[in-house]
Amino acid sequence: MTQVVLIDWGGGNIGSVRYALERLGVSAVLSADADTITAAQRVILPGVGAAPPAMARLRELGLVEPIRRLRQPLLGICLGMQLLYESSEEGDVECLGLLPGRIVRMTSAPGVRVPHMGWNQLQPSQSTDLLDGIDAGARAYFVHGYAAPLSADTLASSDHGTAFTAVAGRGNCFGAQFHPERSAAVGQRLLANFLAMEAA
């Protein structure tokens, strides 16, 4: 069985992500230990909250450099995905730098409320094993006020006033802005695809 470690930095959705993995037959290990994380076959960085305290906690735990050195598949979820980028406008904080770019605040407009909360469509833009079986227009559940702009690393986009990166990937590093653990069959499929991926 694939050994999966959930990085236990205090991200609010860690329990629900763990339960979603259990539904796939995977018993994930919760850990903030660098050696345990480094030895895992798959690593997931969950997160709900704000980027500055999240990065401060990862630094306090001594996990920033170990995460940066990972070579096995790594999946960031929601805030966890945002932390994979170089920086965030939220508190003007330096992040992990595994994906190039800066997280920006979403812009409200008539009929467009921020934070973005609820179901929205995914539009795959690149062929990737991570999105195998997830069709254009599939719906996923989002809760966020900041987002990654579209880039060469965008695997799928969504639109909330303007298009943003819903799924990102580069090398062994992947991110889902939506919550797979709350996105029914679409979320389960993405997690199953991640678990089945070969190391880069």
Per-residue pLDDT tens over the stretch 59-68: 999 999 999 9
Q: Is residue 2's pLDDT more than 80? A: no
Q: How many domains does the chain have?
A: 1
Q: What percent of the chain has pLDDT over 70?
A: 98
**145: containing domain:** 4-196
User: Which pLDDT score is estimated for 199?
Assistant: 63
State the amino acid at position 178 in one-letter form.
F
Strands 42-45 and 29-31 turn out to be unpaired
The set of catalytic residues is 78, 179, 181
Cβ neighbours of residue 155 closer than 8 Å, sequence gap 6 or more: 124, 125, 126, 128, 130, 131, 167, 168, 169, 174
Q: pLDDT-based confidence at 1, cuts 50/70/90?
A: very low
User: Which pLDDT score is estimated for 186?
Assistant: 98
State the amino acid at position 175 in one-letter form.
G
Measured CA distances, 102 to 78, 82, 98, 131 (Å): 15, 9, 11, 24
Q: Is residue 158's pLDDT more than 90? A: yes
Indicate which CATH number applies to the domain containing 36: 3.40.50.880
Per-residue pLDDT tens over the stretch 68-119: 999 999 999 999 999 999 999 999 999 999 999 999 999 988 889 999 999 9
